[in-house]
Chains A and B, each alone.
Chain A
Amino acid sequence: SQQGEEDPQALSIQEGENATMNCSYKTSINNLQWYRQNSGRGLVHLILIRSNEREKHSGRLRVTLDTSKKSSSLLITASRAADTASYFCATAHDMGRRALTFGSGTRLQVQP
């Protein structure tokens, strides 16, 4: 089964509003990453947060990580129509040489 599960599966908001997406995972991690995918395109890396970090910012993005609850959230502030995409969390295991495990994604629609 997928390591990360995003919530909600789909989100529709108006331009200018904030969008919050959540991710839960099951095992211990080294880091957690968020990616964006526009329809029909490859994924683009947005931000990486390490297991010893609790919050990280990058432009309009804010990511939190709660390792005790095995959960993370991605906040996009002042959303734009161009933010319309699918957003995926991905977890890096803390043991062994393993590739990232991706969740099922949140489809964000920002209405202009």
Chain B
Amino acid sequence: NAGVMQNPRHLVRRRGQEARLRCSPMKGHSHVYWYRQLPEEGLKFMVYLQKENIIDESGMPKERFSAEFPKEGPSILRIQQVVRGDSAAYFCASSPGQADYGYTFGSGTRLTVV
């Protein structure tokens, strides 16, 4: 069981480019969560998805950010026209259900915008 797989581990983008972050949940997990973490800070919730559905996107900026979890394939967090302030570590987590389950986290994608 490979756990939650995130790629790439490190991503460098120039201002104005697009960043695509991928997350394959743990086998048997149908709930996916994306969080953002700045250095020395806690995790800030971005979006919660189930297969083909966005359950809660209250933490997502209204512009430039989008997320999907298609029927087949990994979940994708997409950031368009990146700015320096988007530089952060982005973590994906998965769980088999919504209540009374701990999350399994991936190792994160560290996005640097230059």
Chain A residues with a Cβ under 8 A of chain B = 2, 30-31, 33, 35, 41-45, 48, 50, 88, 92, 97-105, 107
Contacts and interface: CB of A to CB of B under 8 A. Distances in A.
Nearest to A99: B48
B107 A41 contact: yes
Interface in B86-109: 91, 93, 98-108
Nearest to A98: B56
The majority secondary structure among interface residues of chain A is strand
A100 B105 contact: no
B42 A45 contact: no
Q: How large is the interface on B (under 10, 10 to 19, 20 to 34, 35 or more residues)?
A: 20 to 34
A97 B56 contact: yes
Contacts of A31: 99-100
Interface string B40-52: 1111110010000
